[in-house]
């Protein structure tokens, strides 16, 4: 920590640097608090070590003493110290109560304002229903009661536009203004698709929490699943490597990340924890190869991506639905009574972030 001591002497830095003194000291103090917290998390090993901010990628600041004036149902203003009133568009009602306001810039060049507030509970009545959820690439979510849910992906027109822009980008000089414009167009196209997927996730998680008292999901390690394969040194040639399927694995990783598994589970935990719905994490091993009827486990049971046919008893079903039923069975064996709140299963040992509060994106800053 001694190596980082100069960064914490804000008073001296503001005295020696004129442009730093022109900014708000409260905003800069919160930046130092964020840095200190990030360093503590990195020391504990729970988070990665903080990196330097990059222009256009990690821009933003936090306002502690929030003063918001609602103009109408579409627009509001946030008072930023030494900068004046910042007008933004309300994408949802302001949370009550709300904490700090964080202003951020995304990769598409759009500014956003978010306010920290506890996760609101979903309006629901106990149903007594339980469900197992299987995640996949062809079908994003398959439930034990037969529902097949697919996340919204790139539209054909958007995919063609991205291909054209990527070819154009490869021919442009790095650091040129035209290349910067092309990168911005690419980012905006991806941002539109991301917004649609996030909207689908919000609606889907709300529906699941409202309709079921218990949700059983696989305890998948998405970060490990999407890691690049390790190089394979060639024992016969020094300095050479054998093929390791990196290109094929990269395609699979992109397909997995496009489903939004991580955000889906995070939002599901947030809403379930605030609404008294139980979430049970189960061991995902062999859920797609185990027969729901007789329990036989074999790789041959999975004829294809969608077809499950048990070689022992002849039971046939959709492969994703069979896996979801196995997940539900394991969840019921481990779960407490439905409706008693989110559980801390020994396999996951995780608590919903909604217990401590989360940031809710409220609006976009007017350009």
- Residue (of 199, 201, 206) closest to 122 by Cα position: 206
Look up 134 and say whether it is catalytic.
yes
As given in the structure block, the two tokens for residue 62 are 């936090």
Q: How far is CA 15 from CA 2, 5, 9, 12, 261, in A?
A: 21, 17, 10, 5, 47
Catalytic residue among 213, 218, 269, 325: 218
Residue 204 and residue 149 in contact, taking contact as beta carbons nearer than 8 Å = yes
DSSP secondary structure, 187-201, as one string: HHHHHHHHHHHHHHH
Q: How many CA atoms lie within 13 A of 53 on its CB side?
A: 12
Q: Mark whether 218 is an active-site residue.
A: yes
Q: Which residues of 187-220 are buried (b: 16+ CB within 10 A; e: fewer)?
A: bebeeebbebbbebbeebbbebbebbbbbbbbee
CA distance 77 to 367: 13
Choose, from 213, 270, 320, 325, the residue flagged as catalytic: 320
Catalytic residues: 134, 218, 320
């Amino acid at each position: 920590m001694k190596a980082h001591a100069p960064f914490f002497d804000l008073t001296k830095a503001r005295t020696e640097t004129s442009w730093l003194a022109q900014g708000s000291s409260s905003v800069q103090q919160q930046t130092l608090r964020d840095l200190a917290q990030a360093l503590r998390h990195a020391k504990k090993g729970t988070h990665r070590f903080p990196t330097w901010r990059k222009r256009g990628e990690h821009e933003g600041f936090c306002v502690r003493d929030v003063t918001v004036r609602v103009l109408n149902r579409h627009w509001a203003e946030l008072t930023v110290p030494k900068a004046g009133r910042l007008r933004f568009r309300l994408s949802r009602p302001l949370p009550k109560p709300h904490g700090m306001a964080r202003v951020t810039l995304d990769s598409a060049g759009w500014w956003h304002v978010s306010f920290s507030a506890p996760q609101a509970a979903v309006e629901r009545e106990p149903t007594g229903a339980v469900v197992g959820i299987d995640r996949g690439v062809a079908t994003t979510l398959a439930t034990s009661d037969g529902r097949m849910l697919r996340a919204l992906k790139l539209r054909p027109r958007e995919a063609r536009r991205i291909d054209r822009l990527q070819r154009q980008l490869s021919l442009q000089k790095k650091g040129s203004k035209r290349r910067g414009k092309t990168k911005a167009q690419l980012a905006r196209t991806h941002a539109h698709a991301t917004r649609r997927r996030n909207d689908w996730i919000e609606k889907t998680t709300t529906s699941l929490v409202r309709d079921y008292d218990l949700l059983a999901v696989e305890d998948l390690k998405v970060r490990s699943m999407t890691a690049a394969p390790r190089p394979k040194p060639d024992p016969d040639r020094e300095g050479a490597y054998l093929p390791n399927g990196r290109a094929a694995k990269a395609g699979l990783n992109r397909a997995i990340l496009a489903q939004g598994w991580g955000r889906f589970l995070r939002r599901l935990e947030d809403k379930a924890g605030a609404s008294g719905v139980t979430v049970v994490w189960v061991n995902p091993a062999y859920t797609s190869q185990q027969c729901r009827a007789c329990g036989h486990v074999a790789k041959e049971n999975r004829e294809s991506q969608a077809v499950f046919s048990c070689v022992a008893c002849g039971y046939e079903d959709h492969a994703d639905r069979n896996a979801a039923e196995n997940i539900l069975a394991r969840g019921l064996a481990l779960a407490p009574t439905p409706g008693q709140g989110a559980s801390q299963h020994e396999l996951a040992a995780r608590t919903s972030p909604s217990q401590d509060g989360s940031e809710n994106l409220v609006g976009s800053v007017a350009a």
